[in-house]
Amino acid sequence: MAINKPSIPKGTRDFSPVEMSRRTYMFDTIKEVFKQCGFLPLETPAMENLSTLLGKYGDEGDKLLFKILNSGDFAAKVAPEQLSNSNALATKICEKGLRYDLTVPFARYVVQHQNEIAFPFRRYQIQPVWRADRPQKGRYREFYQCDVDIIGSKSLVNEVELVNIVEKIFSKLGIAVTLKLNNRKILYGIAESIGYADKMVDITVAIDKLDKIGLEAVNTELETKGISVEAIAKLKPILELSGTNSEKLQKLSAVIGESEVGMLGINEMSEIFSYTDALGCKLDIELDLSLARGLNYYTGAIFEVKSKDFAIGSICGGGRYDDLTGIFGMPNTSGVGISFGADRIYDVLVGLNLFPKSAALVTKAMFINFGGEEQLCALKQLAILRDNNIASELYPDVAKMKKQMEYANKREIPYVIIIGEEMSEGYATLKNMITGEQSKVKLAELSEAIAD
């Protein structure tokens, strides 16, 4: 019988103990900022009803949903004519799907629990999401998002709060970033000014790919969506506006000033920039008119963060949504949120060697095991070290010293404690595995010696 070689699905990853220690450091850093800024923790199920997810991310997003087959005889109610229609078939045999992001499940939660929530509601959520995308560098089918949202307030102070969170988190992680901002109202104004307000979604989906596929390919896609060559020609100089953020907004107002919605977007961005300037924000903030964020539920300011020193896609993104809860029966409840892509941030930290050495360490000290009375003494000292919050362990087997030392080296354990004959005098030998230095230390002072 052939033995199947073990594997995992494409676009997913195992995480080794070292990687998990680093990821814990990253998540703890992000979570610390979320909590400092007054956000409350929340978790939602990995799977949602498919009716909750479908239609919230646009046609392209719907294609990337992982659907879950119904349990039991899932094909019992399928009519023969539905077998050739994939969409009709999916709705018959799949009632659930894995969540695509954390925002739509959050909106569903808010509607379900609206009578228990104090608005504005500030929540953070750190959980995995799934997308049936083509795996590539920096793009996975299973990945973690770290979200913060404020719902139940239209104040632009909330957008400024998110800018502050971006600045704090990437400063703590040591990653130099550029924060790109735009506004969906501005994009509507642009679509209106070139005569295609009714095709705003098609236009935004296309120009959102500008960084990935280039201007010519974007123009080709716009043509296939029925946008005239003349309108595309009008769009190009708008997307290529240069200057400071204020200068771009001034130039833009001259182009789309007749659009009431477009001018509202310009005024919103002007207010946000006035706050960030007054607060002395040190982030590199750029008004990027090609930024569209393809998700259909965004209605106002939109955000995207990119690393300056490591080539990868966006590592953080989000925006304002004015009526996402309306699709679940709770209209006129505005919210704004931003999502930190943990897996891409991790790749940046690894690529730029930004993880502190301590982030990979789990065990700080290991006792050599000689068996007998020495083993019993080591167990007692082990308990004392752990009571002093020093991660420590005893090599479980009575083995040759060389084997135990090799294990400690392979695990990158910085200290080895040898309890031998000097135990009767109340001493142990402490070896620094990094420097190779050895010293006699009183058993009562082991915790203090290692903590230093």
Sign of CA dihedral 325, 298, 60, 204: positive
Q: Cα–Cα distance between 197 and 260 in angstroms, integer? A: 12
Does residue 348 contact residue 307 with C-beta atoms inside 8 Å? Answer: yes
What local confidence, expressed as pLDDT, does residue 223 receive? 86
Q: Which of 324, 301, 292, 315 is nearest to 205 (CA)?
A: 292
Segment 160-210, tens digit of pLDDT = 999 999 999 999 999 999 999 999 999 989 888 888 888 888 888 888 787
Segment 26-37, tens digit of pLDDT = 999 999 999 999
Q: How many C-beta neighbours within 10 Å does residue 165 have?
A: 21
What local confidence, expressed as pLDDT, does residue 229 receive? 87
> In a 3-state reduction of DSSP, which class is residue 241?
coil
What local confidence, expressed as pLDDT, does residue 147 receive? 97
Segment 107-152, tens digit of pLDDT = 999 999 999 999 999 999 999 999 998 887 768 899 999 999 999 9
- The residue ranges of the chain whose pLDDT is under 70 are 1, 72-92, 138, 294-296, 452
β-pair type (365-367, 415-418): parallel
Sign of CA dihedral 131, 134, 135, 136: negative
Domains annotated on the chain, with CATH? 361-451 (3.40.50.800)
Percent helix, strand, coil in the chain, to 5, is 45, 20, 35
